[in-house]
Amino acid sequence: MAKKKKNQRSDGRLQKCITFGGKRFYVYAKSKEELERKAYEKRIELEQGKEMHDNPTIQVFYERWVENRRSSVSQATLRSQQCHFNTISNIVVDGMAFKDYRLSDVKAEDIRVIQRSLLESGNKAQTVNDKIAFVSHIFHDAVNEQYISFNPCSPVKPIKKTEVAARNTIHRALTPEETKSFFEEVQNSFYFDVFRMAIQTGMRIGEIGALKNSDIYDGAIHVNRTITRTEDGGYCIGTETKTWHGKRTIPLNDAISEIIEHQRKVNRILDGNISGIDDLIFKAPERGLLMATPVDREIKRVCKRTGIDHFTCHAFRDTFATRAIEQGIEPRTLQELLGHADYSLTMNLYGHVIDSTKEKAMSKLNIAL
C-alpha cells in the first residue's frame, strides 16, 4: 500500500491551504497540476471579492445603499430613487455603463457627462438637477462610510433653469374669472366635490383621497395621511403625510362642511347606507382610490370646453393660498394650513402675492397730517 502524502486526503484527493485576510481556505484536486490551477483561481476570486467589497461598482454599492435605507424611508421614496437610478445607471461614460464603474474611479467630469446626457435626452433643467442631486446623495454616503474620500459630484454646478416655473403655468393660481367659469362648468362632474375641497382647503389630491370619516372631528379636518406609491409602483393609503409637517388641522367653515356632507350623500347613493367611521370620504367613480391622473384628465377636458389655459389639480392648492393671502391670512398661518415644513418655502411660492397686496394696501393708505 502506497504511503499517503502529507497534503493528501483520505479519499486520495490532494489539498492545499490558502491564507487570505487572516482566514484559511482549502482547494482540492486529483492531480498536482489541477491543484495549482484551483489554488490560483481561488486566490484571484478572493482578491476580486475583497476589491468588490472595498471598492464596489456603482451598481453593487447602490444595492447595498437601498437595503440599508429600506427601513427608514417610504416605499414611494425607494421607488422614486429606483427610477432615478434606472435612468442614470445605463448612461455610457467613456465606453462603459455608469453602473459598472468602481466608486473610486468616478471623477467630476464623468458626472458632467451624465449631466449633459440627461439634458440632451430632453429632460428639463430641474429634472437633471434632481437626478444629479440623487447621485450626489449616494456618493455622499459612500464618503461617510469611508469607501471613497471625495464626492465627485461636489464640483459639478447645477444646470441653470431657463424654463418657466410651474407656478406660472400648470401650477398657477386661477384668476377669480377662471375660477367662476370652471366651477360653473363642473357642477355635474363626478369630481365636483373633489375640486371644491381642493380649492377651499388647499389640500393635496392625495390627502383628499386618503381622508376618512374619522378624520373629521372637533370642528376641524385632521390631515394624517396621503395616497402614496408602493415600491413596485402600485398605490395605497399611506400611514403618513407627504412630509412630517403635512400632518395638520384645517378648521371647518360652512363651505367645507357643506362639501363633506354633500359628498357623504353621494356616497350613500353609490354605496348604500353602509359608510363606516374609517371609510374614505372621496373615492374614484369605480369606488377605488382617488387618483390624480383621472382628476387631471377631467380638468383638461373642462379647460378645452371653457377656453381656460390648462392647469392641474395642484393649481387649486395655489389658488387657495393666493386668495388666502389676498384676503389677509398671515403667511405663518398659511404655512400651517398648507403643511409647509419651512416658512421660506411658503414665502418663495407666494411672496409675489404678498408684494401685490402690499402695493394695493399702500395705494389706499392715507395718513392725515
**Confidence (pLDDT) at 243:** 64
342: which 3 cell numbers? 419651512
C-alpha gyration radius of the chain: 30
Three-state helix/strand/coil letters over 270-317 = HHCCCCCCCCECCCCCCCCCCCHHHHHHHHHHHHHHHCCCCCCCHHHH
pLDDT of 2 strictly over 50 = no
Domain ranges of the chain: 14-54, 58-152, 167-353
CA dihedral 303, 305, 307, 308 (to 10 degrees): -20
Counted residue by residue, the chain has a size of 369
Which one-letter amino acid corresponds to residue 312? T
CATH number of 167-353: 1.10.443.10
CA distance 246 to 224: 8
SS3 236: strand
Of residues 180 and 50, more confidence is placed in 180
For residue 347, how far is the Cα from the chain centroid? 22
pLDDT of 68 strictly over 60 = yes
- Full-prediction pTM beyond 0.75? no
238: which 3 cell numbers? 399611506
Specify the long-range contacts of residues 7-16, CB closer than 8 Å, at least 24 apart: none
The mean pLDDT value for 273-281 works out to 84
Percent of the chain predicted with pLDDT > 70 = 83
Q: Which of 126, 165, 173 is nearest to 312 (CA)?
A: 173
Lowest mean pLDDT among 14-18, 52-56, 227-231, 295-299: 52-56
Residues sharing a CB contact under 8 Å with residue 303, sequence separation 6 or more, in sequence order: 182, 309, 310, 311
- Domain range 58-152, CATH architecture: Orthogonal Bundle (1.10)
- Which helix (H) or strand (E) is 104 found in, with range? none
**Confidence (pLDDT) at 343:** 60
Helix spans in the chain (H): 32-54, 58-69, 75-89, 108-120, 125-144, 176-185, 192-201, 205-209, 254-271, 292-306, 314-326, 331-338, 343-364
- Which helix (H) or strand (E) is 123 found in, with range? none
**Confidence (pLDDT) at 360:** 58
pLDDT of 96 strictly over 70 = yes
- Which helix (H) or strand (E) is 17 found in, with range? strand 14-20
Contact 82, 232 (CB under 8 A): no
Q: What is the pLDDT of residues 15-44, one digit of tens each?
A: 888 787 677 877 788 888 888 888 777 777
pLDDT of 261 strictly over 50 = yes
The mean pLDDT value for 103-128 works out to 92
